Amino acid sequence: MFIKDSIFLEGDHMSLNERVNLTEIVAMDKNRVIGRNGDLPWAGRLRSDMDHFKRTTEGHTVGLGRKTYDSIPEKFRPLLKRENVVITRDLEFKAPGCVVIHDPNVLIRMSIEKEIFIIGGAEIYKIFLPLTERLIVTHVETEITDGDTFFPELNRSEWRQKLLFRQEADAKNAFSFSVLEYIRIIEM
C-alpha cells in the first residue's frame, strides 16, 4: 500500500509515494476476541496455530505492543529467529534482545524496506490496520464470553479472502479453526 495522507506523516518526512509492506497476523474468536486478562484466551491450547505463527513469522521482523511483549513468558522472548520490535511510550523501557521504539512511524519506515508482521495486540493492530494490505487471520471456532481485547471490525467488502488451511479440534488443539489470508482490494 502507498503512504497517502495518514496520521503517520505528522512531523515525519516520508514520501507520499513510498510503498509499505505490512501484514497483520492474529487469532480471533467468532466475535473478534483476541485477549483475556493480558493473555491469549486459548494460551497453550492451540498448538497448530502456534506452529503456523512460528512458520509464518520466522526470518522476519515482528512488531508488537508493550503489553503483548509483557504477555510473552520471559523464557520465550525475544521471539526466536525474528527481529522483535516493541512499541512503547515509556522512554525507559528495556526489552533485552529487542529493538524498542516509541513512534509507530519507525516501523512504517522499516516496512518500506522489508515485510513487517504486526503481531498485536489490539492497540497496535488498530494503529497499523489503515496501512495494512494483508491479514493472516486464525478464526477460532469458539465464543470467549469474558474476553476483554478485540480485533478491529473489518469491512469484509474491502478484502478478498482465501482459505490457507483448516484444523479440526484434537488432543493438541482445544478448538477447530480456519486460517484465512485477507488481501485488501479497496485502498483506503
Ligand X SMILES: NC(=O)c1ccc[n+]([C@@H]2O[C@H](COP(=O)([O-])OP(=O)(O)OC[C@H]3O[C@@H](n4cnc5c(N)ncnc54)[C@H](OP(=O)(O)O)[C@@H]3O)[C@@H](O)[C@H]2O)c1
Residues at the site binding ligand X, with contacts judged by CB under 6 A: 26-27, 34-35, 38-40, 65-68, 71, 87-90, 93, 102, 104, 119-124, 127, 149
Q: Rounded to the nearest whole angstrom, what is the least distance from the CB of residue 21 to ligand X in the complex?
A: 20
C-alpha closest to that of 68 among 95, 91, 86, 53: 86
Q: Rounded to the nearest whole angstrom, what is the least distance from the CB of residue 25 to ligand X in the complex?
A: 7
Q: Rounded to the nearest whole angstrom, what is the least distance from the CB of residue 69 to ligand X in the complex?
A: 7
> Nearest to ligand X by Cβ — which residue?
121
Cα angle: 93, vertex 35, 127; to 5 degrees: 60
- CB closer to ligand X out of 166 and 185: 166
Q: Rounded to the nearest whole angstrom, what is the least distance from the CB of residue 74 to ligand X in the complex?
A: 15
Q: What are phi and psi of 73, to 5 degrees?
A: -55, 140
Q: Rounded to the nearest whole angstrom, what is the least distance from the CB of residue 144 to ligand X in the complex?
A: 10
Burial of 165 (0-12, 13-18, 19+ CB in 10 A): exposed
C-alpha closest to that of 65 among 32, 41, 31, 90: 90
- CB closer to ligand X out of 142 and 149: 149
How far apart, in whole angstroms, are the C-alpha atoms of residue 126 and residue 124? 5
How far apart, in whole angstroms, are the C-alpha atoms of residue 162 and residue 55? 18
- CB closer to ligand X out of 94 and 186: 94
- CB closer to ligand X out of 91 and 186: 91
- CB closer to ligand X out of 53 and 159: 53
